[in-house]
């Protein structure tokens, strides 16, 4: 987990790039296979639950997968809903994992409108939801406009936010 934290910082600083992050994440995933029994037994504690998906209409998943790997490597249980995820799927997952943080991803500017409707539906159906957004076309201004709770241009900023809200 410390190693993935360092990888996230180096990625944020443009000292390493997506291929190196993916190789690191692959190594972490191999290690997680051995560590998962300890997480499931309760011997190792998770910091929290993180639900992520690419919004409805968008089938891109590289960024979402990268974020998932870095967040999991930093001690969170990740519930990956995949791509083309509807508001109803995010709402259902939020009900199954109370207190979780939800993350919406989009690569296409045309699917950013779906982010807005999903945020609105989540806030109405699951009061107290904490919603993070991200993706290449997404900005802090857009985050504020649609009333999401957090935006970061990189995974490490998201991890800092998660750690701050977990404590």
Amino acid 23: pLDDT:
84
Q: Assess contact for 91 and 125: CB atoms under 8 A.
A: yes
Helical H runs in 13-149? 18-41, 62-73, 87-96, 112-125, 140-146
User: Could you report the per-residue pLDDT of 129-162, keeping only the tens digit for each?
Assistant: 999 999 999 999 999 999 999 999 988 899 999 9
Q: What are phi and psi of 77, to 5 degrees?
A: -80, 125
User: Could you report the per-residue pLDDT of 82-130, keeping only the tens digit for each?
Assistant: 999 999 999 999 999 999 999 999 999 999 999 999 999 999 999 999 9
Q: Range of 159's domain?
A: 2-166
Please list the helix, strand and coil fractions of the chain in percent, rounded to the nearest 5, in that order.
55, 15, 30
Residue 37: pLDDT over 80: no
pTM metric for this prediction: 0.80
Amino acid 88: pLDDT:
98
Residue 17: pLDDT over 90: no
Contacts of 83 (CB under 8 A, 6+ apart): 53, 54, 58, 59, 60, 61, 64
Amino acid 166: pLDDT:
79
- Short-list 104, 108, 102, CA closest to 137: 108
**pLDDT averaged over the chain?**
89
Amino acid 38: pLDDT:
67
| CA distances for 19 relative to 15, 23, 46, 91, 159, angstroms | 12, 6, 27, 33, 20
Indicate which CATH number applies to the domain containing 151.
Answer: 3.40.50.280
Amino acid 39: pLDDT:
60
Q: Assess contact for 67 and 155: CB atoms under 8 A.
A: yes
Q: Total structural domains in the chain?
A: 1
């Amino acid at each position: 987990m410390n190693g993935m934290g360092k990888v996230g910082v180096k990625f944020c600083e443009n000292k390493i790039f997506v291929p190196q992050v993916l190789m690191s994440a692959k190594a972490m995933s191999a290690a997680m296979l051995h560590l998962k029994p300890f997480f499931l037994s309760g011997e190792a504690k998770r910091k929290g639950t993180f639900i992520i998906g690419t919004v409805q209409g968008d089938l891109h998943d590289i960024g979402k997968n990268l974020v998932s790997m870095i967040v999991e490597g930093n001690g969170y249980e990740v519930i990956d809903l995949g791509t083309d995820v509807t508001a109803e799927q995010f709402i259902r997952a939020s009900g199954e994992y109370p207190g979780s943080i939800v993350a919406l991803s989009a690569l296409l500017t045309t699917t950013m409108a779906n982010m807005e409707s999903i945020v609105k539906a989540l806030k109405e159906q699951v009061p107290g939801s904490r919603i993070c957004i991200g993706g290449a076309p997404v900005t802090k201004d857009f985050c504020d406009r649609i009333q999401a709770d957090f935006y970061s241009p990189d995974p490490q900023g998201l991890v800092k936010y998660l750690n701050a809200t977990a404590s």
